[in-house]
Amino acid sequence: MNFGPIRFIPGENRGKFPNCNSIYIEKAGLLIDPASNRDTIRRIRDREGIEIVCLTHWHEDHFMHLDLLDNVPLWTSEKDAEPLAGMDIFLDWYGIGKPDGKELREIIRPRLEKQFHFKPRIPDRFLKDGEIIDLGNVTLEVILTPGHSPGHLAFFFREPEVLFLGDYNLDTFGPWYGDPYSSLEQTIDSINRLRKVPAKTWIAGHGKGIIEEAPEKRWDFYLGAIQRRENELMDFLAISRSLDEIVERWIVLGKPMEPLIYYKFGEKAHMLKHLDRLVDKGLVQCQNERYRRV
């Protein structure tokens, strides 16, 4: 589907992880988030040309086919560049520590190499918040939207009024802020900033991708997921709970999934973000490594 020169490339399996949706700007040859479909990206490269590749952020489900574009200049934010430089740094950014995270590192490392074709990359250009880029047939505005990652970027194409949201997906699941360098508060701020962009079409990094109706209710429900999670956590903390008990409640993911060690890690990371926030607000106390609401 096209919106002027902006071509939407749906990810495999409806853009669900480990794939995402991509955007290609015709004539300008700019590709954003090369993780939609390997054959499609290869075909565009060979027949139409890819002159620049951009990443909204550093996560593997957004660069899976970047290895097809080794000689193409890479643009992303400076704050998300570091983990792209090497495998060990990448794993460290996920908070998978070398001593206690050895088992999980051994699971993820070969997957990154084989499934996601990870290769160290140093970006050729750092994109900055508010930067305006004339691509010839469309004007691109860079919007820094930290929270999901420290340097997450969204892209607003001014003439067709299309906003590419990256991983602020406006889906029913809600925002993801489970990495060590993710921020729950910045996520809220970025969502509120994005909803003010005067777009007529919104494109999400995952799922169906294209949203053409004014999404005020979507924004409310998406942002509201944070409070719904927090409310359920507070109810659960009516009595003292250990962190393991809280994680096994599966407030964010809803249910355990396989590989369990991987998804349990993500659930724990989210819950720690909420627990830290509630403790800071004085709404929850932690004593002897057990949590209870005040």
Print the SS3 string covering the chain.
Answer: CEECCEEEECCHHHHCCCCCCEEEECCCCEEECCCCCHHHHHHHHHHCCCCEEECCCCCHHHCCCHHHHCCCCEEECHHHCHHHHCHHHHHHHCCCCCCCCHHHHHHHHHHHHHCCCCCCCCCCEECCCCCEEECCCCEEEEEECCCCCCCCEEEEECCCCEEECCCCCCCCCCCCCCCCCCCHHHHHHHHHHHCCCCCCEEECCCCCCEECCCCHHHHHHHHHHHHHHHHHHHHHCCCCEEHHHHHCCCCCCCCCCCCHHHHHHHHHHHHHHHHHHHHHCCCEEEECCEEEEC
Contacts of 235 (CB under 8 A, 6+ apart): none
Verify that 33 and 146 share a domain, yes or no: yes
pLDDT at 107 over 90: no
Verify that 88 and 190 share a domain, yes or no: yes
Verify that 270 and 215 share a domain, yes or no: no
Triad 86, 96, 121: Cα angle to 5°: 15
Residue 232 lies in a domain: no
Verify that 248 and 103 share a domain, yes or no: no
Structure confidence at residue 98 (pLDDT): 61
pLDDT at 247 over 80: yes
Verify that 186 and 279 share a domain, yes or no: no
How far, CA to CA in Å, does 48 sit from each of 9, 51, 135, 273?
Answer: 14, 10, 16, 44
Taking only the tens place, the pLDDT of each residue in 134-160 is 999 999 999 999 999 999 999 999 999
The answer to whether the CB of 205 falls within 8 A of the CB of 15 is yes
The answer to whether the CB of 120 falls within 8 A of the CB of 133 is no
Which of 219, 247, 262 terminates a domain? The answer is 219
In angstroms, the CA 118 to CA 73 distance is: 16
Contacts of 79 (CB under 8 A, 6+ apart): 146, 149, 150, 151
Residue 164 lies in a domain: yes
Average pLDDT, integer, range 239-250 = 98
The answer to whether the CB of 177 falls within 8 A of the CB of 148 is yes
Reference 128, options 146, 115, 113, 111; nearest CA is 146
Residue 224 lies in a domain: no
Reference 268, options 242, 292, 293; nearest CA is 242
Verify that 107 and 165 share a domain, yes or no: yes
Structure confidence at residue 99 (pLDDT): 58
Verify that 156 and 281 share a domain, yes or no: no
| Length of the chain in terms of residues written | 294
Verify that 142 and 81 share a domain, yes or no: yes
End-to-end Cα, the chain, rounded Å? 52
Structure confidence at residue 78 (pLDDT): 98
Residue 197 lies in a domain: yes
Taking only the tens place, the pLDDT of each residue in 33-91 is 999 999 999 999 999 999 999 999 999 999 999 999 999 999 999 999 999 999 999 99
Indicate the average pLDDT of the chain: 95
Verify that 66 and 127 share a domain, yes or no: yes
Reference 272, options 180, 146, 186; nearest CA is 180
Residue 227 lies in a domain: no
Verify that 105 and 212 share a domain, yes or no: yes
pLDDT at 215 over 90: no
Average pLDDT, integer, range 9-17 = 95
Which of 163, 189, 219 terminates a domain? The answer is 219
Q: Residue 102 sits in a domain of what CATH number? A: 3.60.15.10
pTM: 0.95
Residue 226 lies in a domain: no
pLDDT at 130 over 70: yes
Residue 225 lies in a domain: no
Structure confidence at residue 106 (pLDDT): 87
Number of domains making up the chain? 2
Structure confidence at residue 100 (pLDDT): 58
Domain that holds residue 258: 237-293
Verify that 128 and 72 share a domain, yes or no: yes
Question: pLDDT band for position 262 (50/70/90)?
Answer: confident
The answer to whether the CB of 147 falls within 8 A of the CB of 154 is no
pLDDT at 123 over 80: yes
pLDDT at 259 over 90: no
Residue 134 lies in a domain: yes
Which of 168, 184, 219 terminates a domain? The answer is 219
Verify that 266 and 208 share a domain, yes or no: no
